[in-house]
Amino acid sequence: MTSTSRIEELLTRFIAHDRIALARLITMVENRADGVGVIMERVYPMAGRAVVIGITGAPGAGKSTLVNRLIAHLRQRGQRVAVLAIDPSSPFSGGAVLGDRVRMTDHYRDDAVYIRSVSSRGSHGGLSRAAREIVHVLDAFGHDVVIIETVGVGQTELGVMDLADTTVVVTVPEGGDGVQAMKAGLNEIADVFVVNKADRAGADRIKAELELEVHLRNSAGWHPPVIMTEATADRGVDALLEAIDRHAEYLAETRDPARLAERRVHEFVDIVTAEIERRTARALGDGAAPELLDRIRTGELNPYRAARELMEHPGTLVRVLATPAHTPVPGDARQQERS
């Protein structure tokens, strides 16, 4: 168990811009270590400033190459950039972590660039939550832009794109990828389309296809632009950033406080649900409600009946839930709400 003083020390270093503390906190979030709730309680009020850009698309579409270019352009503007690369560990794309590292090494020595890979395997469906918390941490650290790169193959990976203010879907000319993107439902989440590898034959056709698709979609609101890029040659990256900026302006203009409020509630419900699950599993494992467990063990109570009894017996339930899943940090939990 991570002690309160250790968490305090890490947070103090985090606030002082210590990148090692940043890395440790992210690892704790990734591993769902004890004390993550306390950490997030402290980190959340410091977050809320960063623009979150999601980059998704087929394996090998050139996402990382593009991200590497985007970093360079954002750095020219003086912005601090963090990248969260979700390693899909899917059969489609082995070794993505190494690939990402290699393709983003241009910024290795830059203090204002932070690149982190997390695995989508092993997070047991908790990827969306871990990713959201890591984005909060990267945001709170003072990054102006947080880029999330993920392969648009699985539901889990796609779910992560909910975190993005602007979602960029990267397609490529070959293999009828435009059609594939549509099938994968990627087009529904796209705020900006990129046709990368524009140096290859068929790029114009894909662009036209995507533009038609956008045009046929309902006419109100934002129309995702289709940007041609050649990431390897740094072509089209300015246009892509412009499109992202325009989308950010659109979001600011059409900002709906009710949606923002719902998003907060949704996050709260997620946290509570996960926390209840975690506490219940741990407390029951640690010997809370032993009489109930004994009756289940002997077969006297079937698990369904037992679950209902637990729910309907407030005393037992409260005892189970009150078992702390972490040591609380004294003082300082509230600070100002993020606006």
Choose between 194 and 329: whose C-beta lies nearer to ligand GTP: 194
- Other beta carbons within 10 angstroms of residue 244's beta carbon come to 21
83-112: contacts with Mg ion (CB under 5 A): 100
224-253: contacts with ligand GTP (CB under 6 A): 230-232
CB of 188 to ligand GTP, least distance (A): 20
From 63-71, 179-187, 203-211, 271-279, give the range in contact with ligand GTP by CB under 6 A. Answer: 63-71
> Which residue has the closest beta carbon to ligand GTP?
62
Q: Strand, coil or helix: what is 165?
A: coil
Contact status: 56 vs Mg ion (CB under 5 A)? no
Distance of CA 18 to the CA centre of its chain: 22
Please count the CA atoms within 13 angstroms of the CA of 35 that sit on its side-chain side. Answer: 20
Contact 39, 29 (CB under 8 A): yes
Contact status: 211 vs ligand GTP (CB under 6 A)? no
118-157: contacts with ligand GTP (CB under 6 A): 151
Contact status: 62 vs ligand GTP (CB under 6 A)? yes
Write the binding mask 247 to 286 for ligand GTP: x where contact by CB under 6 A, - elsewhere: ----------------------------------------
Choose between 107 and 326: whose C-beta lies nearer to ligand GTP: 107
Give all strands (DSSP E) within the chain, no chain letters: 51-57, 81-87, 113-119, 145-151, 166-171, 192-195, 226-228
Choose, by CB under 6 A, the member of 63, 107, 136, 207 that binds ligand GTP: 63
Residue 159 interacts with, from Mg ion, ligand GTP, none (CB under 5-8 Å by kind): none
Please name the residue ranges forming H helices in 141-256: 155-159, 177-183, 186-189, 203-216, 237-253
Residues near 184 by beta carbon (within 8 Å), at least 6 away in sequence: 152, 153
Tokens of 241: 């950033």
Please count the CA atoms within 13 angstroms of the CA of 322 that sit on its side-chain side. Answer: 7
84-123: contacts with ligand GTP (CB under 6 A): 93, 96, 99, 103
Q: Between β-strands 113-119 and 145-151, what pairing exists: parallel, antiparallel or unpaired?
A: unpaired
Quote the CA–CA distance of 126 and 55 in Å, as a whole number. 20
Contact status: 64 vs Mg ion (CB under 5 A)? yes
* Residues near Mg ion, by CB under 5 A: 63-64, 100
* Residues near ligand GTP, by CB under 6 A: 59-65, 93, 96, 99, 103, 151, 196-197, 199-200, 230-232
